[in-house]
A = this chain, B = another copy of it.
């Protein structure tokens, strides 16, 4: 069975289900990863699903549920019934469970919590108190902690007991009597010492930790910097309350990057391939309507220059190009700044350097493109003044557009607003307006030479 394709795997599983051969089914299921189990379940037709769920062990069901999208999770729980769901929930990772429960109605949530083991239900409820996207919310309580007076032998024994339920055994966190985090031992260190050695003597005391209210992006940054597999989470008094593991952090990194892209493109939050058309349209609409209204604003600006435009209709030919170029250079700067802000801390010196860098970039881009378009406009329209007007406008708009794409996200960042909300379209539209004002302003100044 090691080399079965997905299709063959599906067929064998369904065969065992049809023939009600639970043992054969389990022989295969045992070898499968939760992701594979979930994939098979998703591909399966509705009629096979109930027995599939019956044939799974509680542990496998918990792992399966953790891999599903929320809608499918609810579907599985409904199929399982309240009693079995509570048992499955006892086995789920607390962070996954907190996410799931957070989406249910208060009534349903209480029904499940009441039937769960007291210990587990309290753990997940305490998790749910922390705001979303913080370390407290994404941490798990399935980690191994050891009292400071343990020897390596004691630890090895405790490990044997906890290895199965702990999410990671790579790091063992050492606590004092008040449950305060005082050290960490890697699993590797244990292997390399003698059984009678005291943990206190081999532990690292400089433990990097995060607090429950640390933003998940900051947690990701720490795990990424230090190449950690997990980072301990403490309350403000340094009491150890959980760990965040690297697999959750990968999800955070992907989610945050996707959000950045969605914001930069103003595509609205949480649209993926499965979002319904009406929902997707509804989420995208506010941005488009806003941009439409700003577009009207740029229309009124042009209408102010109607006289100029009537005299030299050729000015209209370069309008989209100038507005577009200004928008594009702004978007380029924006992308550099938004991603840069993610991967490093920004002090005043960095901002100053960045500002002058982008000013210089804007000047270089402006001069090169300005000269190019002057020549093209002159050749095309046979009017040197028009060439100069278009060219000098482009120089100015490119410099201003570049700086707008740099300054706006940094100001937002300093104001603790997510810089990515200064989305590409917003910057683009703002730059549209600035560029039209500059372009028609310069054209109006030189109108007598243009005709």
**Stretch of A74-82, A126-134, A218-226 with 4 or more beta carbons under 8 angstroms from chain B:** A218-226
Check if A223 sits within 8 Å of B205, measured CB to CB.
no
- With beta carbons under 8 angstroms apart, the residue of B169, B287, B313, B429 that contacts A332 is B287
- With beta carbons under 8 angstroms apart, the residue of B192, B302, B322, B376 that contacts A317 is B302
Check if B320 sits within 8 Å of A320, measured CB to CB.
yes
B-facing residues in A201-248 (Cβ within 8 Å): 204-208, 220, 223-229, 246-247
Task: Chain B residues near A295: list those with CB within 8 A.
Answer: 318, 320-322, 324-325
Known: A35-B225, A188-B164, A336-B267. A316 touches B328 (CB 8 A): no
Number of copies: 2
Check if A250 sits within 8 Å of B251, measured CB to CB.
no
| A436 at interface by CB-CB < 8 Å | yes
CA distance A228 to B361 in the complex (A): 43
| A415 at interface by CB-CB < 8 Å | no
| A417 at interface by CB-CB < 8 Å | no
Task: Chain B residues near A268: list those with CB within 8 A.
Answer: 332
A contact patch SS: helix
Distance between A356 CB and nearest chain B CB, rounded to angstroms: 8
Query: Which 5 A-B pairs have CB atoms at the shortest separation, nearest pair first?
Result: A295-B321, A257-B257, A265-B335, A277-B360, A267-B332
Interface residues of A (CB under 8 A from B): 1-2, 31-35, 159-160, 163-164, 169-170, 187-188, 191-192, 204-208, 220, 223-229, 246-247, 249-251, 253-254, 257-258, 260-262, 264-268, 271-273, 275-278, 280-281, 284-285, 287-289, 291-292, 295-296, 298-300, 302-303, 306, 309-310, 313-314, 316-325, 327-329, 331-336, 338-340, 342-344, 350, 353-354, 356-358, 360-361, 364-365, 368-369, 372-373, 376, 380, 398, 424-425, 428-429, 432, 436
A-B contact pairs, 23 of them (CB 8 A): A33-B208, A34-B227, A163-B191, A164-B188, A187-B187, A220-B250, A229-B229, A264-B264, A264-B265, A265-B331, A265-B334, A275-B357, A276-B357, A288-B369, A292-B321, A295-B322, A296-B321, A296-B380, A298-B321, A298-B324, A302-B317, A302-B320, A310-B310
